[in-house]
A and B are shown apart, each in its own frame.
Chain A
Amino acid sequence: MRLGFDILGRLFSWATVQTEGTFWMPVQGSTGAEPVDRIFGFIFWVSVFFFVLIVALMVAFVVRYRRRAGREDAEDSAHHNTALELTWTLIPIVIVVFIFAWGFKAYLDMNTPPANSYEVLVTGQKWKWLFTYPNGHVDENLHVAIDTPVRLVMTSEDVIHGFYIPAFRLKRDVLPGRYVKVWFRAIKQGEYQIYCTQYCGTGHSDMWAKVVVHEPGGFERWLDEAGNFLKTMPPAQAGERLFRTRGCAQCHSVDGAGGTGPTFKALFGHPVPLEGGKTVTADEDYVRESIMEPQAKIVAGFQPVMPTFKGRLKDQEITAIIEYLKTLR
């Protein structure tokens, strides 16, 4: 059986094995892509064979046996033929059993991570992916080293999301209250698209991120630098980064546009009307309170839906965010 897979895999891989993407398939960015593409190629040619067979017969019959003057009636022919019917029942059974077995084998391989995989935590939330690295750094993109097995441990903070990297032929639903694990080994340096494939509401189609595959050594350099951004970047710039990566941007705009929460444009230092008629000036303490105790003061016209960030943002990070808000005039 195994030999059969290999031979057929080779035979049908000429159609799909590639590095830059084909008519049907995106670029092969991981070790998992090629087996999938080989099976795809096999099923594709089986399908083409049967489709052409059916359509060719159909067209030939229509042309040859078309109803016309002198051909009002059908010719005599059998109403059934058990041998023929058993043949065209059994041949497809053999083919689909083969496709099933091959697909299952590849599926098991793609679900069995090597023992020494590098682990990244993935969190799905409306409408953003967050990637947490072993050193505690949280990023909005997935950075990995080339030729290194990476294991993703994924969970959702709200509804079901679907984590999908087409170039790696990798997809898994990400569920709240549960951890799911997938793995891959990237084989080609570059940036690849990440999507959400499980419908999750307004921003479902904005849950985009990138996998960045670094050259050998490049990942470690990136992680050191990225994990240190609070120290290396000016506070306002670090704040902007936190704004993007920690989920603020999903509800708060910076250009005055509407959203689930009030815009941050021209917020700092200005009076804010609250539910109940009071007004408060947006200073450092107000911003800090709004992040840690979001229900304490509700801005007029908005729902009290913001989750607390207590325990999720450090003091230094809140300071950086406040500095960033000051720049939004």
Chain B
Amino acid sequence: MTSNETTAAADLAAMGNTLGGDNYLTHGRGLKSWIFTLDHKRIGVMYLVAILSSFFLGGVFALLVRTKLLTPGNSAIMSADHYNQMFTLHGAVMIFLFVIPGIPAALGNFVLPLMLGAKDVAFPRLNLASLYMWVAGAVLALVSISTGAVDTGWTFYTPYSTTTNTSVITMVAGVFILGFSSIFTGLNFVVTIHKLRPAGMSWFRMPLFLWGIYGTAIIQIMATPVLGITLLLLIAERALGVGIFDPALGGDPVLFQHFFWFYSHPAVYIMILPAMGVISELVSVFSRKHIFGYTFIALSSIAIAVISFLVWGHHMFVAGQSSLASMIFSALTFLVAIPSAVKVFNWVATMYKGSIWLATPMVYVLSFLFLFGIGGLTGLFLGSLATDVHLHDTYFVVAHFHYVMFGGTVIAFMGGLHYWWPKMFGRMYNDNWGRIAALLVFVGFNTTFFTQFVMGSHGAPRRSYHYLPEFKVYHQLSTLGSYILAIGFVIAAVNLLHSLYRGRPAPANPWGGATLEWRTTTPPAHDNFAVEPVAGDPYDVEAWRYDKAVGGFVLREPARGPAAG
């Protein structure tokens, strides 16, 4: 292992590593050069710090909730009211501050222009504005904690949310602003993908991560305004007494649910589509093989984005919508399962006859396939009307949701973070500790949430401070799992942070990826590419071979050129 001090500058240059020289991290110094930067990479890094802080905070809330649930009765840790605030904060922070912006704004911001061989996103100023909208929204959301933390659940269902005496307006205003951050990012990415693709990159030669981001961006632009309007109406009802949702004022409480889920169901696809994109990249690179069924994967992202707008009613099978509406929504819900299944089959097929490299990102991919498999399949129980009636609003739904959002999105986010980390910061982390952390997260996750499926199908209602003693064993197992999960994340965090100081300098292409971000130096220069690259097949990973001297991958000689897919 060579530390930075002893590696000659020439060796670094041969690896394509710019540490100690000019790169985006050293290009301009001081606080001002960061807070006013228009560089998508710096904005991505700032987003990453912000989002990981939110993840930490949301995780602490979750651990407190789980610790209370060790016992079925009253708890010295928190009262029922505090518990209600705690699970609300956990949900709101995780959803609005972490999972929705997670992959697009942090990883996407960094990677998307690089994958396009571009200098930056189409609207760098809008990009910075999106970051500050996020900060403003986050500040408001956190201020609400000190002014009487919201106890409505992250779904803000009326009329409870219009009658509770907690600071709903502050929180909702925060979420409203966060929505704009999301819209700005989506708009920026759509335009960037349309306008800044390099020579040689037709739509169907675009990396699948970009298809995922593109699908997400479309939903962000089209669905988020509905959330904004809904939240404004909620504020109007609370502050001005305008009767919209509260039956006491002549409103309709189910109307709120329709509005809310019209955004929030597509929003779960905002969360999962980029994750699927990450997996598509990783599974090909770490199988050292071309992705299988590119066109089906790409089109399934768009199919998911479109169908996701038509399934919101499955959140209201027991809320009193008509049987006809329930029937239509149930049918459409099953339809949206198909493109996800197709993706999973394609990913597994990509591994066939590959040369499967179990580096940390690939361990997360395997973990994803396992967990997302369970998450997706348990969706069938909830899409079917008869079984949903029994399982609705129980821990079964909590478990399903976490298998998809955590087992899916968060695991993919971790995989992507470990994949692009060397490109971001120019250093390799310890692969063994990375894998140990991934394994602990996997074990902890299943212990935490699989038990909740069993509890839920036995009828345990979610959002419950008190529970029947018969569920105690499940709850205690679940809490134990959450502690294992936490230890896994702490190890992953320490490993990554440690690499910033002590990590081996990373080569330009440590994993042998064929997408354009691996063609530039590590970390990239301020302008990304010295010469604008020409895109070839993004999954021609076999054109790259491992070179011991470099410690990473180099193009085979003679270079294969942009081979046909």
Q: Which of A72, A111, A200 contacts B546 (CB 8 A)?
A: A72
Q: Does B33 contact A (CB under 8 A)?
A: no
A169 touching B389 in the complex, CB below 8 Å, given contacts A61-B356, A201-B160, A204-B463: yes
Measured in the bound complex, the distance between the Cα atoms of B287 and A24 in whole Å is 37
Contact with B along A14-32 (1 / 0, CB 8 A): 0000000101111000000
Shortest beta-carbon distance from A200 to chain B in Å: 6
Contact with B along A60-101 (1 / 0, CB 8 A): 011001110001111111111100110011001100110110
Q: Identify the closest chain A residue to B453 (Cβ).
A: A24
A61 touching B380 in the complex, CB below 8 Å, given contacts A24-B457, A92-B338, A204-B463: no
Most chain B beta carbons < 10 A, residue from A55, A100, A178, A201: A100
Contact with A along B289-315 (1 / 0, CB 8 A): 111111110000000000000000000
Find residues 141-191 in chain A having any chain B CB closer than 8 Å to their own CB: 158-160, 162, 164, 166-167, 169-173, 175-178, 180
Find residues 407-422 in chain B having any chain A CB closer than 8 Å to their own CB: none
Q: State whether A80 touches B163 (Cβ < 8 A).
A: no
Q: Which of A62, A76, A160, A205 contacts B467 (CB 8 A)?
A: A205
Q: State whether B461 touches A164 (Cβ < 8 A).
A: yes
Q: State whether B352 touches A176 (Cβ < 8 A).
A: no
Q: Which of A25, A65, A180 contacts B457 (CB 8 A)?
A: A25
Measured in the bound complex, the distance between the Cα atoms of B349 and A124 in whole Å is 52
Measured in the bound complex, the distance between the Cα atoms of B467 and A173 in whole Å is 20
A106 touching B385 in the complex, CB below 8 Å, given contacts A26-B458, A43-B380, A77-B352: yes
Please name all residues of chain A whose beta carbon is closer than 8 Å to the beta carbon of B253 when the two chains form the complex: 160, 175-176
Measured in the bound complex, the distance between the Cα atoms of B370 and A51 in whole Å is 8
Q: Does B319 contact A (CB under 8 A)?
A: yes
Measured in the bound complex, the distance between the Cα atoms of B511 and A11 in whole Å is 49
Q: State whether B352 touches A65 (Cβ < 8 A).
A: yes
Q: Does B14 contact A (CB under 8 A)?
A: no
Measured in the bound complex, the distance between the Cα atoms of B531 and A162 in whole Å is 62
Q: Does A39 contact B (CB under 8 A)?
A: yes
Q: Does A46 contact B (CB under 8 A)?
A: yes
Please name all residues of chain A whose beta carbon is closer than 8 Å to the beta carbon of B331 when the two chains form the complex: 100
Q: Which of A66, A167, A195 contacts B356 (CB 8 A)?
A: A66
Task: In the complex, identify which listed stretch (B50-58, B115-123, B390-398, B514-522) lies at the interface while the others stay far away.
Answer: B390-398
Q: Does A300 contact B (CB under 8 A)?
A: no
Please name all residues of chain A whose beta carbon is closer than 8 Å to the beta carbon of B466 when the two chains form the complex: 205-206
Q: State whether B334 touches A159 (Cβ < 8 A).
A: no
A80 touching B295 in the complex, CB below 8 Å, given contacts A96-B380, A106-B386, A197-B392: yes
Q: Does A196 contact B (CB under 8 A)?
A: yes
Q: Does B167 contact A (CB under 8 A)?
A: no
Shortest beta-carbon distance from B547 to chain A in Å: 12
Q: State whether A92 touches B341 (Cβ < 8 A).
A: yes
Please name all residues of chain A whose beta carbon is closer than 8 Å to the beta carbon of B386 when the two chains form the complex: 35-36, 39, 102-107, 110, 169
Q: Which of B291, B354, B387 contacts A39 (CB 8 A)?
A: B387
Q: State whether B289 touches A77 (Cβ < 8 A).
A: yes
Q: Does A274 contact B (CB under 8 A)?
A: no
Give the contact-size bracket for chain B.
Answer: 35 or more
Q: Which of A36, A198, A201 contacts B390 (CB 8 A)?
A: A36
Give the contact-size bracket for chain A.
Answer: 35 or more
Shortest beta-carbon distance from B506 to chain A in Å: 19
Q: Identify the closest chain B residue to A199 (Cβ).
A: B463
Q: Which of A25, A57, A180 contacts B458 (CB 8 A)?
A: A25
Measured in the bound complex, the distance between the Cα atoms of B338 and A85 in whole Å is 12
Q: Does A3 contact B (CB under 8 A)?
A: no
Shortest beta-carbon distance from B91 to chain A in Å: 11
Q: State whether B454 touches A74 (Cβ < 8 A).
A: no
Q: State whether B565 touches A79 (Cβ < 8 A).
A: yes
A88 touching B345 in the complex, CB below 8 Å, given contacts A54-B369, A80-B295, A204-B463: yes
Q: State whether A54 touches B390 (Cβ < 8 A).
A: no
Q: Does B344 contact A (CB under 8 A)?
A: yes
Measured in the bound complex, the distance between the Cα atoms of B341 and A270 in whole Å is 70
Q: State whether B354 touches A65 (Cβ < 8 A).
A: yes
Q: State whether B464 touches A205 (Cβ < 8 A).
A: yes
10 further A-B contacts with Cβ under 8 Å, apart from A72-B288, A175-B254, A196-B461, are: A40-B381, A50-B373, A67-B288, A77-B353, A80-B292, A99-B334, A103-B385, A103-B388, A195-B459, A198-B157
Residues of B within 8 A of A (CB): 80-81, 84, 151-153, 157, 159-160, 163-164, 247-248, 253-254, 287-296, 318-320, 323, 326-327, 330-331, 334-335, 337-338, 341-342, 344-346, 348-349, 351-358, 366, 369-370, 373-374, 377-378, 380-381, 383-390, 392-394, 454, 457-459, 461-468, 539, 542, 545-546, 565
Residues of A within 8 A of B (CB): 21, 23-26, 35-36, 39-40, 43-44, 46-47, 50-51, 54-55, 57-58, 61-62, 65-67, 71-81, 84-85, 88-89, 92-93, 96-97, 99-100, 102-108, 110-111, 158-160, 162, 164, 166-167, 169-173, 175-178, 180, 193, 195-206
Q: List 10 A-B contacts (CB under 8 A).
A: A57-B348, A74-B288, A79-B294, A81-B293, A96-B380, A110-B386, A111-B323, A160-B159, A180-B320, A204-B463
